[in-house]
Amino acid sequence: MPDTEGKPDFMEKFVLSEIAGKKAAIHAYDGIVWKIRSGFLTLTFGGWAIMLQSLAGRDQAPHDYKPLVWGLYLFSLGFTLGAWFVDRSYIQRKFRVIIALDRLTEVLTARGGDCSGIPADLLIIAGDNAIKPYDCAGYRNALKAESVVYLAPLTVIFAVVFWLL
């Protein structure tokens, strides 16, 4: 509530800055996730393209470089699991913040915009708090996109490797 001169009081400023911080955190987490995903796809397909291109010019039979190809596939599998784990961590953080912002908005709406008496757990950093919930419809949709990003390349690469060898 504004004070008698119409200026926002400390609590109102604090809540507004918390809302702005949560929105900035959501966008930052989203940017990190897409950098991880685009980097993963670039490195995975770029590495395989370079290797297959170098093997295409050789006069050797495909079975001669079979161990190299399967070794790179196993490396790609490990790289995929690592990228997936980091990606999942940031998605969970993002949705912790989204849920916290939604709850804060609900409380403010229910109180008619009155910032006094806002529960303290709605004003803390949510992304790094492992106790905060993250499971919601948006999170489940993000998992579908994540599955495509990490499983599709491995499937395509496996099919190509199996076809070549």
pLDDT of residue 122: 79
**109-127 as b/e: b if 16+ CB within 10 A:** eeeeeebeebeeebbeebb
Cα angle for residues 93, 41, 51 (degrees, 5° grid): 145
Tokens of 20: 């702005």
Overall average pLDDT of the 15-44 stretch: 92
pLDDT of residue 96: 92
Residue 1 confidence (pLDDT) above 60: no
Give the residue extent of every domain in the chain: 10-164
The per-residue pLDDT for range 86-139, each reduced to its tens digit, is: 999 999 999 999 998 998 888 888 888 787 777 777 787 788 777 788 888 999
The DSSP H or E segment spanning 156 is helix 137-164
Q: Compute the distance between CA of residue 91 and CA of residue 142 in angstroms, rounded to an integer.
A: 8
Residue 70 confidence (pLDDT) above 80: yes
Start-to-end C-alpha separation, the chain: 71
Closest by alpha carbon to 23, among 107, 92, 97? Answer: 97
pLDDT of residue 8: 63
Residue 4 confidence (pLDDT) above 60: no
Overall average pLDDT of the 62-66 stretch: 73
Overall average pLDDT of the 27-50 stretch: 93
Q: Compute the distance between CA of residue 27 and CA of residue 23 in angstroms, rounded to an integer.
A: 6
pLDDT of residue 3: 54
Residue 30 confidence (pLDDT) above 60: yes
